[in-house]
Structures are given as structure tokens and as C-alpha cells.
Chain A
């Protein structure tokens, strides 16, 4: 029960901190002091205190976007186990629900973007949808491979220590899947090689362009659910990336939080040292991720 509470607390409170860590890392690379670590929280509070402005051309679809997005991220957060602890909700087949919750969130956000009637946001929606459809196979192939390894079809069993016995036999597949998921992780969260979260240059934006018309609390909800998506997918990735885990429950929470913060630092480093991919290269990178993931699965299935 106590651990369940810790799970929920981490899920609700930690995500914006990751953004803060990424910001700090990038600032350190650039030789700046950067915004304080807690800046994303201040931003959220500021946004929630503002009033809302809704364009008169929009309908309920526009308002449903952020709400469904947040609900989907929250639900997905219930399905993924953090560290070695069991997830609050787990049943056979929850993998599919997990993947399609994010697809649902993407659908509602793109629908909200299209609802504004702005051609500019429509362009962003088109990009988001096409890149999302390319990232999905990579995630699914990897999940299938893990299901095969664990012999079970629920996230809890699949992610419980995939690096366990027989490292040499399953190592190559897991490395491939980790590489593929790292790419998907960056693409899904609109991080740098795929999409620049800071830019407001029209031609390069993907995610950012879809939410231009949201303001105040709605925009805050979108930022918050994006951070939560980063957190949830990061927790998923962390299982494949690191064989580490504490034996004591509380040590394990500490290991998990340290792992997430390290992941955020790693994103910051990637964003500092890499340039953005040309838009035409993004599908190629995502297909490469899918091929890697499929290859990893193939090695296990044969």
C-alpha cells in the first residue's frame, strides 16, 4: 500500500523535475547558469493561474484534447512498473492498452490541432501523425520480444528484470531493443534529433506547432501530460537499459529515481551535442529504429 502511494507520488510529482534536469544539463553544456531546477513547476503554476481563451471557431474537440491527453498519460502511468515494484494495475494484455493509450492521446491532440482550422497547425498534426505511425512498430516489436522472453503478456511480468538469466543469449536482442527504444523515446517526446522543443521556427516544429492555440490552463495540462509521457516512457526504457535494481524496496526506489534523473541528464547531453535531423531524415531514423527492434525480436523468436 505504501509503495503504491510512492508510485502515485512519483508519477504525479517527478515528471516536471526531469524537464528541469534536462534544462540544467543543456545550460551547463552551453556555459550558462540556466533556469532553476524547479522552473517547470513554476511555469505550470503560472499557467494554471491564467484565464482561458478559446477561439470561437473551435468546438468541444479542441477542449477534449488536453483532457484526454492527461488522462491517457495518467492511465499509462498506472500500467508501467517503476523499478522492481509492481505496477498498480496489471492484467494480461495490458501492453496493448499501454501502447494505444498514447496513440489515443496523439489522436485527440492532433484532432484538437485540426479543430482550430489553422493550416499551420494542420501541418504539425500531419507530421505528428506520420512520425507517430512510424515509431509505433518499433515500440511494439520490442514489446513483443520482451513478451517472448518473459513468456507473459503483461507489462509487469515482461519488464521484471529482462536482463535476468542467460545474458549472452538474450543480450544482443536487448541491446538492439534498447537502441531502438532510445530513438523512439526521443521521437515520442519531441526531443532533439527529431524535434526541437525550444524552437518556434515554423518549418521545423512538429509537436510545438500543434499546441499554439492552447493557452492558460489548457496549455499547462498539455505541458504536464507531455512531461508525464516522458516519465512513463522513460520508466519503460529504463527497464531495458539497465540491469540494475536494489534488493531492498526503498533502495530500489532510490535506484529508480537516480536512473530517471540520469536518463534526463543523458537527454540533455544528446540535445547539447547533436543537431536536429533534417525533416526528410526523420522517417529514415524511425524506420531504422523499427528495423533494429524487429531484428531484435527475430533473434529471439527463431
Chain B
């Protein structure tokens, strides 16, 4: 079973490139959703079907990351009629380059980490680091608030991959807690998005940089 992890993680890293390279809001959200859903199923591949709680957790995570949260985001872009991320601070090609370079560095860096013997040479750490970097890039270089929310979402995916290393030690409650955190965060961001929209009738965060009496 464990041999399937690496091909799946490669798929996850490909979604990172999609996220960095596309300007279509819809594609961005769907890629993040697909990435999240695939990742939620990953523990089952690593451990095998070990008891009902693993299956229940995976099912909950897939529903939340693959359907509920992306659904909320899709609704948000429908409401405000955003189709494209226009003119991010760092262009799509440069951010694709940065992502590729970051992935390379992640692989190099993972080679020098003192990992448990069973994780040496696996893709878990590189995939995690490159997904974190992708999330960070999306968060910092995109102007639309929704892109930044997606960035946060991807960042959490990266943390989740890192959690795979601790799968034996990670208690059920902690994972549920992380999921809940994510849910609450996206919920709060949704409210903030609504406020930004009401105030400026746009979701461009550049407008937030100006002070007004």
C-alpha cells in the first residue's frame, strides 16, 4: 500500500503547479478542492483500512475539503462575479518558476532532514514543503481576497501532508481539531469577504491599503 503514496503525492504536487499557473478563479478553487480531497484519502493508503474511525475521518475530511469549503468559495465568486485573478503582485509565470524552484529546494532540504528511517526517500516531506510554499505564494502575491483564502486552504493541505509523518502518533481528536479550525477559518474569512465587498464593491485587497477618515 505504501508504494502508492509517492505517485499520489506527485499528483498533489502537480496541483500546486496548476494553482500557481492559472488565472481562472474556478480552476484555482477546483484544483485546491481536488488536492484536499486526494490528501484526505491518503491516510487510508498509508495505513490501510485500520478501523472505522480512520474511514470516518477520511470521509469527513473529503466532504469538508472536497465539497463544502470549495462550494462556499464557488458561491462567493458567483456572488461577486469574479472570473480571473487580474495582475497579481508576482505574475503567473514567475510564480510558476518560484514554485518549481521551491519544489526543487524542498527535495534537497528534505534530503538533509533527520527523518525516521521509514520516511527517508519518500516524497512526504518534499510534497509538504512545496505545498506549504505554494500556499504561501498564493497568500502573499495574489490581490483578490478569494485567492488568498485558497492560499490559506493550500497551506493547510501542506500541513496535513506533514501530519502524515506522525500518522501513528496523531490522535483522532487532533485531526478533527485541525479540520474544525479550517472550517471556522474559512467561515470567518467568508464573513470578512462579505464585509470587504459591501464596503468597496470589489474583492481587491489593494483597496484595503488606503486609510480613510
B189 within 8 A of partner (CB)? no
Map CB proximity to B onto A156-198 as digits: 1 under 8 Å, 0 otherwise: 0000000000001101100010000000000000000000000
* Residue among B93, B97, B100, B121 with most chain A CB within 10 A: B100
Contact of A168 among B7, B92, B96, B111 (CB under 8 A): B7
Which of A1-9, A61-69, A280-288 lies on the face that meets chain B?
A280-288
Nearest opposing residue in chain B for A302, CB measure: B107
Q: Is A212 an interface residue (CB 8 A)?
A: no
Asked if A288 and B107 sit within 8 Å, CB to CB, the answer is no
B3 CB within 8 Å of chain A: yes
Is A89 part of the contact surface with B, judged by Cβ < 8 Å?
A: no
Q: Smallest distance from the beta carbon of A172 to chain B beta carbons, Å?
A: 4
A283 contacts across to B, CB distance below 8 A: 93
Query: How far is A291 from B134 in the complex, measured between Cα atoms in Å?
Result: 15
| Residue among A169, A171, A288 making CB contact with B96, cutoff 8 Å | A288
Shortest CB distance A130–B (Å):
13
User: Which residues of chain B are within 8 angstroms of A291 by Cβ–Cβ distance?
Assistant: 17, 96-97, 99-100
Point out the residues of chain B lying under 8 angstroms from A302, CB to CB. Answer: 107-108, 111, 121, 126
Is A298's CB under 8 angstroms from B103's CB? yes
Q: Is the CB of B93 within 8 A of A284?
A: yes
CB-CB contacts of A245-280 with B at 8 A, as 1s and 0s? 000000000000000000000000000000000000
> Is A203 positioned at the interface, with any CB of B under 8 Å from its CB?
no
For A284, give its contact among B4, B21, B126 (CB under 8 Å).
Answer: B21
Q: Which residues of A contact B33 (CB under 8 A)?
A: none
User: Which residues of the other chain, B, contact A298 by a CB distance below 8 angstroms?
Assistant: 103-104, 107
Q: Which residue of A lies closest to B6 (CB)?
A: A172
Task: State the CA gap A171–B97 with chains docked (Å).
Answer: 24
List of B residues within 8 angstroms of A284 by Cβ: 21, 92-93, 96
Chain B residues 95 to 129 lying within 8 A of chain A, measured CB to CB, are 96-97, 99-100, 103-104, 107-108, 111, 121, 123, 126
- Which range contains the number of A residues in contact with the other chain? 10 to 19
Q: Say whether B13 faces chain A, with CB atoms less than 8 Å apart.
A: yes
Residues from chain A with Cβ under 8 Å of B170 in the complex: none
A294 touches B100 (CB 8 A): yes
Verify if B207 is at the interface (C-beta below 8 Å from A). no
Known A284-B92, A284-B93, A302-B126; judge A168-B3 contact (CB<8 A): yes
B10 within 8 A of A: yes
Write out the residue numbers on chain B whose beta carbons fall within 8 Å of the beta carbon of A299.
10, 123
Contact of A172 among B7, B21, B96, B99 (CB under 8 A): B7
A41 within 8 A of B: no
- Bound Cα distance A291, B95 (Å): 12
- Residue A120 lies at the interface, judged by CB distance under 8 Å to chain B: no
Query: Are A295 and B92 CB-contacts (below 8 A) given A288-B17, A302-B111?
Result: no
Bound together, the chains give a CA A302 to CA B129 distance in angstroms of 15
B16: nearest chain-A partner, CB-CB: A295
Instruction: Indicate if the CB atoms of A171 and B107 lie closer than 8 Å.
Output: no
Chain B nearest CB from A143 CB (Å) reads: 18
Do B7 and A171 touch (CB < 8 A)?
Answer: yes
CA distance A168 to B111 in the complex (A): 21
Contact bitstring B1-37, A, C-beta under 8 A = 1, else 0: 0011011001001100100010000000000000000
- Give A294 to B101 CA distance when docked, in angstroms: 10
Distance in angstroms between the alpha carbons of A299 and B106 in the assembled complex: 12
Chain A residues whose CB sits within 8 angstroms of the CB of B99 once the complex forms: 291
Residues in A neighbouring B10, C-beta threshold 8 A: 172, 176, 299
C-alpha gap A176/B21 in the complex (Å): 16
Say yes or no: A287 contacts B96, CB within 8 Å.
yes
- Cross-chain contact B97 with A287 (CB below 8 angstroms): yes
6 residue pairs from A and B, CB less than 8 Å apart: A168-B7, A284-B96, A291-B100, A292-B17, A294-B104, A302-B108
B residues with CB within 8 A of A: 3-4, 6-7, 10, 13-14, 17, 21, 92-93, 96-97, 99-100, 103-104, 107-108, 111, 121, 123, 126
Q: Which 3 pairs across A and B sit closest by C-beta, in order of nearness?
A: A172-B10, A291-B100, A302-B107
